[in-house]
Structure 1
């Protein structure tokens, strides 16, 4: 029997509620509730769970170490024994021991949820796939912010949908919470 997929909860941090800092609008207000459903499912079955936390190197960022926004949101607060990987770049694999931990646990499948779709989720999913992991991204358990290219503002939902479309097939399977837990 193969090992179950590990749940990777990426950057579910209080500072990401500071919408003005990140461009104003965010889609998917139910993302954290869906992350909590996933986490409860994994905990009940004693499947592997890994939390990832971003420590921004920008001292003005709400995610900078020492700021209240650096803490993980209470809705997905790690429990004793659940590892927390700390990173300071978008990918959870760069500058961390994540790949080594997964290999030591004989994990080759990941379910990834968290914040934000267009940054750390995308970077982590792409690298996981490139490292040979089978990946599922939970579309309603992640969210994006509105983005601009300097000339045009793109709605958060559009950013989210296009990023998931870019990941789908080549890097990951994209599912919603309900279908994944069924």
Structure 2
């Protein structure tokens, strides 16, 4: 029997658009994948949980910036929102208590950034006993430069590394279609139009 699920949409917030590493390159594919995942979850009555990151008294992630809010294209159909101040969505947010109160044992992870808040939340969720589906195509990240070697890692390389370390240890790596199909009994899966 499958566990009751919730979709976590992590840090899909305007703050990122004001960081020096922000790039639009991968945003259209990410947006399309995330919107399909959200629509499919909503069609199957899976609660959508928005997580936002805030920190400091200044800068784009500060509450005072006015940027700790959903990107303009993100639907406001969430069941609940939480604000975090560290990389994972559980520490001091109330998320765990909300999930328990609603009998949720499975999490579908999406959002920004792939290797930071999404990956860290996945690891913590697994350690707390949740079943986790990690939907890489519905995550976003940016190129990173290794501080010692100067080598730049592409978003694709970072996503592959994240899948490598999470797969079969902390999460099942799924496509949008696979994550949505797994929410319904075998043979009854449907995708949003």
User: C-alpha separation between the residues in 1 aligned to 2:56 and 2:156?
Assistant: 28
Distance of aligned partners of 1:109 and 1:139 in 2 relative to their CA distance in 1, 3 Å threshold? same
Q: Once the 2 structures are TM-superposed, how far is the Cα of residue 26 of structure 1 from its aligned partner?
A: 5.9
Over 3 Å counting, the alpha-carbon distance change for 1:55 and 1:77 in structure 2 is: farther
Q: Counterpart in 2 of 1:65?
A: 63
Unpaired segments of 5 or more residues in structure 2?
A: 182-193
* Pairing 1:48–2:85 present: no
Normalising by the residue count of structure 1, what TM-score does the alignment of the two structures yield? 0.88
Question: How many residues get paired?
Answer: 179
- The aligned residue for residue 164 of structure 2 is 165
Match of 1:8 in 2: 8
SS at match of 1:30: helix
Q: How does 1:1-182 map to 2 (within 5 A)?
A: 3-18=3-18, 21-22=20-21, 27=26, 29-57=28-56, 59-60=58-59, 62-79=60-77, 82-150=79-147, 151-182=150-181
Cα displacement (A) at 1:109: 0.4
Give the conservation status (yes or no) of the 8 Å contact 1:5–1:107: yes
What is the DSSP-based 3-state SS (H/G/I as helix, E as strand, rest coil) of the residue aligned with 1:63? coil
Provide, for residues 110-146 of structure 1, a one-character-per-residue CA deviation record: whole Å limited to 9, x for no partner: 0010001011001100000000000001111002211
Is 122-131 or 40-49 further displaced after alignment? 40-49
Q: Is the 8 A contact 1:26 1:143 kept in 2?
A: no
Task: Report deviation, 1:43.
Answer: 1.8
Q: Root-mean-square deviation (CA), in Å?
A: 2.1
CA pair 74-25 structure 1, distance change in 2 beyond 3 A: closer
The 10-residue stretch of structure 1 (35-44 or 129-138) with the greater mean CA deviation from structure 2:
35-44
Contact 2:108 2:179 (C-alpha < 8 Å) held by counterparts: no
**Structure 1: 5+ residue stretches without partners:** none
Partners of 1:28 and 1:142 within 8 A in 2: no
- Contact 2:137 2:176 survives alignment (8 Å): yes
